[in-house]
Amino acid sequence: MARVVVFVPDLLFGSTVMGQLRAAGHEVTLAGSDDAALAALADGADALVVDLTVEVPARCALVSLWRGGGKLGAARTVAFYSHVEGDTRALALAAGFDAVVPRSRMAREGAEVVAGVVGAG
């Protein structure tokens, strides 16, 4: 079981992701803001899931900054994006996300994606 912070402002989609993760046995914390995500990470999360369907450059820069400053701790990072936004995938990979998947895959296989990333760490 992993401790997962879900940084997803869309509560409807966030509940879908959280439901999958909880059903797979993970402990999940929903973070609706940068500060809430950072506070949850400080509690020793294993993974951070970030919605990159909004505020892409800012969120990529934030995660890159957190990684560089040691604020991610040992947490592995997963980003999801709209499949029609190919540039978003490139930005996320450049920012250092451990996995970057389309939103549709996150909706279908979110628990498996997180388990794969946490297990790879």
- Could you tell me the residue ranges of all domains in the chain? 3-115
pTM: 0.92
pLDDT of residue 24: 92
CATH fold, domain 3-115, is Rossmann fold (3.40.50)
109: left (phi over 0), alpha (psi -120 to 50) or beta: alpha
Strand spans (E) along the chain: 3-7, 27-31, 47-51, 76-81, 99-102
- Name the stretches of the chain with pLDDT < 70: 120-121
Both tokens of 57, joined, read: 């450059």
pLDDT of residue 120: 66
- Measuring CA to CA, how many Å separate 63 from each of 17, 23, 43, 96, 121? 20, 27, 17, 8, 17
pLDDT of residue 121: 57
pLDDT of residue 73: 85
